[in-house]
């Protein structure tokens, strides 16, 4: 079997700023459209279901999503980093890690089901968690296929798959809710949409670079060793970023989970732009650092850009955030604006850490993320444990913001120290 377009794509100007900006546009557009579709259907679900049922739906999603990192544990990041340097090795990278990722995804699914059985959640929520856990396998393998798009910087395919998956989910969720299936219907829609995403990722990625399917686990230390550090950092990062919803569901009530969700969705709009930017420029930064093209002046300039973006986000939020929340979700979610006003501060501060984070990943300094995420996770969990029983979801918002602030104050100097040792500047 031939490798379509592979030779031509191996000669891409991977360090091109224009390509990076174009790919940022593709990813942001895809994320924006997908997020808009998700937002609309989420608002519909929130308005149709009771706050308690909506909280149940969010609890199921949050619980399963919390384990998603274990289906990859940094393998994709290593594949993209190494593939960006040598695109011709893509088939070896993909086929050589497919079996390991399938094994990790399957074990994660089983673990989620077993852990859910030990939680104090109602029986109905445990069943829904079991149903949705199937998406962990589809997402784990599908993300491996989509790594091909990142290596060859064909981000438009990622955008197309995201939009198609969201349209599938939104359409089915609407139909199932109208049919009276409630929360189980929405979860079923998620499962079907995840399968559609997997199929699209597989078909499109093999058009760019052909690779063989191989589900036999191959334990390649050259990939798995650095991946472990990415994985540990990812797990800890997920904890300090998303543990709030889970702890609210365990330490408070599902109504508080429902009220907290609009705030998470609001902050998610900003996260969407960050994901697009970092995803598009990561392969380029890998090449630039490899060639010694990063300077302190360039780094300082981008920190300034992110500082201005954070300030703008805070100003806009405090000006119109409450009106937007009530208009979109309805008066019953008016209390959510208090959570938004707290979370946006942490989001703005966290933006300052993005340039150093990308440089750490590109220069094989991902171990530093583990150090930074460790104390951030410890602070977030500790504060959640103290504050949520007292002030509910507002405690989760304060905990997240404090952890993000600490991550910037301590994390940036620590990162710069290791980058200097690596002679990045």
pLDDT value of position 191: 93
150, HSE (Cβ side, Cα atoms, 13 Å): 28
User: Which of 50-54, 135-139, 202-206, 211-215 shows the highest mean pLDDT?
Assistant: 135-139
Q: Is the pLDDT of residue 28 over 70?
A: no
Answer with the one of 167, 196, 219 that is the final residue of a domain: 219
Q: Is the pLDDT of residue 366 over 60?
A: yes
Q: Is the pLDDT of residue 12 over 70?
A: no
Do 158 and 282 lie in one domain? The reply is: no
Do 230 and 88 lie in one domain? The reply is: no
Do 363 and 416 lie in one domain? The reply is: yes
Answer with the one of 192, 219, 246 that is the final residue of a domain: 219
Do 70 and 136 lie in one domain? The reply is: yes
Closest CA to 154 of 364, 4, 32: 4
Over the Cα atoms of the chain, what is R_g?
21
Answer with the one of 199, 219, 239 that is the final residue of a domain: 219
Do 275 and 348 lie in one domain? The reply is: yes
Length of the chain: 425
Residue 84 covered by a domain:
yes
5 touches 208 (CB < 8 A): yes
pTM, two decimals, is: 0.63
Name the percent of the chain lying above pLDDT 90: 25
pLDDT value of position 15: 46
Q: Is the dihedral of CA 363, 366, 371, 374 positive or negative?
A: positive
Q: Is the pLDDT of residue 20 over 70?
A: no
Do 147 and 228 lie in one domain? The reply is: no
Q: Is the pLDDT of residue 121 over 50?
A: yes
Please, what is the Cα angle at 206 between 202 and 210, to 5 degrees?
A: 140
Rounded CA separation 267/336 (Å): 12
Mean pLDDT score, 364-384: 85
Closest CA to 91 of 220, 222, 210, 227: 210
Do 95 and 144 lie in one domain? The reply is: yes
pLDDT value of position 11: 41
8-22, 198-212, 335-349, 404-418 — which is least confidently predicted?
8-22
Residue 249 covered by a domain:
yes
pLDDT value of position 14: 42
More confident residue, 176 or 235: 176
Do 85 and 110 lie in one domain? The reply is: yes
pLDDT value of position 114: 94
Domain containing residue 131: 7-219
Token readout for 208 is 């760019």
Q: What is the pLDDT of residues 235-281, one digit of tens each?
A: 777 776 677 887 888 888 878 888 888 888 788 777 777 776 777 66
Q: Is the dihedral of CA 6, 12, 17, 19 positive or negative?
A: negative
Domain count, the chain: 2
């Amino acid at each position: 079997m031939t490798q379509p377009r592979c030779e031509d794509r191996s000669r891409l100007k991977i360090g091109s700023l224009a390509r990076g900006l174009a790919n940022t546009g593709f990813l942001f557009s895809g994320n924006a459209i997908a997020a808009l579709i998700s937002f609309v259907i989420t608002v519909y679900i929130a308005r149709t279901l009771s706050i308690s049922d909506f909280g149940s739906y969010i609890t199921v999603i949050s619980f399963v999503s919390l384990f998603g990192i274990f289906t990859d544990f940094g393998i994709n990041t290593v594949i993209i980093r190494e593939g960006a340097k040598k695109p011709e090795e893509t088939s070896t990278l993909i086929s050589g890690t497919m079996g390991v990722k399938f094994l990790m995804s399957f074990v994660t699914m089983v673990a989620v089901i077993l852990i859910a059985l030990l939680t104090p959640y109602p029986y109905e929520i445990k069943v829904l968690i079991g149903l949705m856990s199937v998406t962990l396998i589809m997402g784990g393998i599908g993300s491996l296929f989509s790594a091909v798009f990142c290596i060859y910087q064909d981000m438009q395919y990622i955008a197309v798959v995201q939009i198609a998956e969201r349209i599938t989910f939104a359409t089915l969720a609407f139909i199932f809710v109208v049919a009276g299936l409630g929360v189980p219907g929405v979860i079923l829609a998620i499962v079907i949409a995840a399968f559609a995403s997997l199929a699209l990722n597989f078909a499109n990625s093999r058009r760019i670079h052909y690779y063989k399917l191989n589900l036999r686990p191959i334990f390649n230390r050259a990939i798995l060793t650095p991946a472990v550090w990415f994985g540990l950092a990812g797990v800890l990062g997920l904890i300090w970023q998303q543990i709030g919803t889970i702890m609210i569901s365990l330490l408070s009530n599902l109504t508080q989970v429902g009220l907290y969700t609009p705030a998470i969705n609001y902050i998610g709009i900003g996260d969407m732009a960050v994901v697009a930017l970092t995803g598009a420029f990561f392969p380029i930064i890998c090449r630039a650092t490899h060639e010694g093209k990063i300077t302190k002046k360039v780094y300082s300039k981008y920190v300034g850009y992110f500082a201005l973006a954070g300030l703008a986000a805070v100003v806009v939020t405090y000006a119109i955030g409450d009106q937007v929340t009530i208009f979109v979700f309805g008066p019953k979610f008016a209390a959510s604006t208090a959570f938004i006003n707290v979370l946006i501060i942490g989001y703005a501060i966290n933006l300052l850490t993005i340039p150093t984070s990308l440089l750490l990943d590109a220069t094989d300094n991902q171990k530093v993320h583990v150090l930074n995420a460790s104390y951030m996770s410890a602070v977030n969990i500790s504060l959640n444990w103290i504050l949520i029983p007292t002030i509910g979801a507002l405690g989760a918002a304060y905990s997240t913001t404090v952890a993000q602030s600490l991550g910037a104050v301590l994390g940036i100097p620590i990162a710069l120290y290791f980058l200097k040792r690596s002679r990045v500047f």
